[in-house]
Structure formats: C-alpha cells, structure tokens
Amino acid sequence: MKYLTILIVIITCMNSCKPKEKQSIGTLERIDPALDAIIDNEARAEIIAEGFDWSEGPVWIESMKTLLFSDVPQNTIYQWKEGEEHKVYLKPSGYTGQIQRGGETGSNGLLLNKKGQLVMCQHGDRRLAVMNAPLDAPAPDFISLADQYNGKKFDSPNDVAQRSNGDYYFTDPPYGLEKYIDDPLKAAPYQGVYRVTEGGVVSLLIDSIPRPNGIAFLGDNTLIVANSESERAIWYAYDIAADNSLTNARIFYDATEAAKTDKGGPDGFKVDKHGNVFASGPGGIWIFDKNAKVLGKLKIPVPVSNCALADDDKTLYITADMYVLKFRMKK
C-alpha cells in the first residue's frame, strides 16, 4: 500500500508538472503568394491571455519586453510578459472622475511616443493624455495632450498615431459615451479625426467619417483611417500636404460586403516597415500590401479590435474580444 501511494504521488506530480499546452485559435487564409514572404505555413495565433471584457489598444514595450493592452470596460491596462501570467499595470486607465458612470470608461488605443512615454486615448476623461510616470513605475497621473477643439469636449478618443515630426493624429468616435451618438454630453455634431502638435495646437482634419476608429501612417505622408460602421466598412487613405492638410481622399479598401456576414469591422491596425498593413476587420485580421492588395486573412472566430507589431515586425500581438493573441511570422 505504501508503494502504491508513492506511485500515485509520483504520477500526480508528473501530470501537474507538464508544461501547459498552448492553445491556438483561428485559421490562416492565403489569398496571394506574396503572403509567403511574411508568414510561415505553420503559423498559428496563440492565446496568451484571456478573460477580458473587451481587450484593446496593444502596444509592445521593447525596453521591458512587455505587452501593454487595455480592457476598456474595466478601466484597466494590463501587462503581459513571456513566461508570466498577465497582471494589472494601471488602474484607472481612462476615467479618473469621482461620479459613478456606465459605458466604456477606460483607455483604448495606447502609444509609446518618441520620448518613450505612454500615451493613451482615454474614453472616460474624453482626452488624449500621457502618463506622468516612468514606464517601469506606472501611476494614474496623467497630463492632457488635448481634451477639446474650439471649446467643445471630445467624445471619446479611440486610437492614436504619431508622425515623424512629433504630431499626434487621433480618432474620436462616440463609443465611450454612455448613450453613444445620442448622449446629452456629446458636444460636436460630427465624429472627428484630429491632429495635435507638440505645442498642443489641435486641428480638425476630417468630420465626414461616421465612425472613425483605427489610424496609422503608410510611410510618412499617407494617413489611413478605418471606419468601423458596418454599413460602410471602409479604410480611407489621404495624402498629407506640406501645410499638414489632407488631400487626395480615397478608398484604400472597402470591406462592406464582408461585414454583412463576418463578425467585426475595420478597427485598429498597424503598418510594418515594408508597408504591409495588418488590419482588424470583418472576420479577423486582414493583411494588405502597400497598394491595398489583400494578401491573406487571419480568420478569428470572435471580433478583433486591434494589433501591435513587435520583434522587428516578426511578431503580431492581437486583441480580440476576451482574448489576447500572439502570432509569429517569418523569422
């Protein structure tokens, strides 16, 4: 009996000590042979964290080997490192008010700016802000970069990109307002795309996109903006003129037909050093080349919100509803 007990203990230990099997999700659809230069056949989207209300705004912090991402309804930024469980990085992240309120109050899009500071789109506080604390010692101490235009409060800044000259470009849909487009606190009669200079001067660039969402630069002189409205699931492109105005407005890609059957819509996206665009859209992550040719899709069974590139564009981190995913590409 003694030896049987010892054997049972050994077997139990062996089973409990086995490394946790990595779970993957989704399938890769290859549409153009050019995708082979970017992604291996065996690439899979690995689940690295889960259990969130709505994960968003991932950003890779190379100096800390850490991924930061928002859980918007929970007003929290989490961090994840390889070999560790995710944990709270910053709370509150987007709403610092004392009055209890509903809706999506937390931070959404996150950005590491050229000074190495964490910039965040804060839904609840309705502003673009920077964390006034070191990255390795986070604190809910924020400095506003912009919180209004022409005396009118923003709705809920959603995603942000920084140009090489230091200017911030961000989108402002109504998703963070408790009653969205019909909220009595909504100040402007449109949804805007804005530019903020390093000196804090705010300019309205676009007021014609119903639900401006993801935003990024293709090169330094082309701006792409995603519209997350399902009836017009479109990525728009604009040239940036010498005076910083937007010209040559055009459709980069129209995914409205796909949005009729697949979950999700154009949301956050990133552009790699070769001009390839990794965009959350209907059905998962769409992969475009710089000329808007669809190379392939990483099909995910839940709505995808955003993504972040890391490891010299060899790794793509994806936020998708309750999940955070890691997708390895070509070495």
Q: How far is CA 151 from the centre of its chain?
A: 28
Judged by DSSP in three states, 154 sits in: coil
Q: Are residues 263 and 282 in the same domain?
A: yes
Q: Are residues 182 and 258 in the same domain?
A: no
What backbone phi and psi angles, to 5 degrees, belong to 13? -65, -40
Q: Are residues 198 and 237 in the same domain?
A: no
The predicted pLDDT at position 7 comes to 42
pLDDT band for position 16 (cuts 50, 70, 90) = very low
Q: Which tens digits make up the pLDDT trace of 246-274?
A: 999 999 999 999 999 999 999 999 999 99
Q: Are residues 168 and 238 in the same domain?
A: no
Q: Which tens digits make up the pLDDT trace of 187-216?
A: 999 999 999 998 999 999 999 999 999 999
Residue 327, CB half-sphere, CA atoms under 13 Å: how many?
30
Q: Are residues 159 and 115 in the same domain?
A: yes
Q: Are residues 100 and 165 in the same domain?
A: yes
Q: Which tens digits make up the pLDDT trace of 109-140?
A: 999 999 999 999 999 999 999 999 999 999 99
How many residues would you count in the chain?
331
Average pLDDT over every residue of 60-73: 98
CB-CB neighbours of 46 under 10 Å: 15
The predicted pLDDT at position 21 comes to 66
List beta partners, residue 222: 218, 239
**Which domain CATH number covers 238?**
2.120.10.30
Q: Which tens digits make up the pLDDT trace of 157-188?
A: 999 999 999 999 999 999 999 999 999 999 99
The predicted pLDDT at position 41 comes to 76
Q: Are residues 225 and 316 in the same domain?
A: yes
pLDDT band for position 238 (cuts 50, 70, 90) = very high
Both tokens of residue 203?
Answer: 């300019």
The predicted pLDDT at position 43 comes to 84
Q: Are residues 91 and 178 in the same domain?
A: yes
Q: Which residue has the tokens 């190495």?
A: 116
Proportion of the chain in helix, strand, coil states, percent, rounded to 5? 10, 45, 45
Q: Which of 287, 297, 292 is nearest to 253 (CA)?
A: 292
Does a structural domain hold residue 132? yes
| Domain that includes residue 253, residue range | 23-52+211-331
Mean pLDDT of the chain: 93
pTM of the predicted model as reported, rounded to 2 decimal places: 0.93
